[in-house]
Structure 1
């Protein structure tokens, strides 16, 4: 009987979901270098990145509060703005929700999961961070938030970008 060569994803499906006992698969071409690069990333830096992401997102509402307060104070007496103001404030307060699931679970897998799952976890976490970086440029609210015309010292997105860029540089293999 001829064996069909399986890629890593196919093998994991058979082993994990169908309970097929297969011998360890040989590394895919190019995986050795990528795996070595990912494993060379400092575990303490990756653990810090995981912890910092939640802290950064939790701080966003507090960083945006002065902007929300300024908008409210400036436009509460303007009849046409008074009706739209609550929606605008809600949009600002929902900025952390734009980022959806954090790369935390993948970073957890990288840090404490089995070695064979680390490379994929690193790739998924790096891809998530790259997607969020792209959203910082493409989302109209995020792209205009820092240095806005009301409070030019707001730098919420700059901090998120720096952190996401760090995650990508740590994990991108």
Structure 2
């Protein structure tokens, strides 16, 4: 019964579609700022403005469409991630040059709102191509499934969606740190 009381106001106040924008606060505490950085190599992150709308997989909070700005989220998180290790990291257009070029995108994602006490789950498909001096050194697709235990709180109506957006940001950073970084190091 308590779960129902939490969900009913959310159904009326959340609306049909919600924007999922890049938020640096979601990942800033996980970014290491004190690493010794490589100064002699430029890194270019190819930017894009892709938006992938997805509807929730169940109706715990109603059918909510999340319009995730995947291009902006991916480009900015990639820039923050690689800036931990390199001094010269820029978002670039496809025609621009750099010593290392990162071309990546969130290919697909889905999310599921579970019952209020269980939070939500996302599945994220991420592909990356890494070029060093115009030579392809890594081309791979990664899939990750992450859960956030408790997203619905009494603090605010938008907390489930903010928690979901934060989970997406942190999952992408996790892919970069735990899967992409070792693959790039093995490719060099």
- Rg comparison, structure with higher value: 1
With CA pairs under 8 Å and 6+ residues apart, which has the higher RCO, 1 or 2? 1
Higher strand share: 2
For normalisation by structure 2, the TM-score amounts to 0.27
Higher helix share: 1
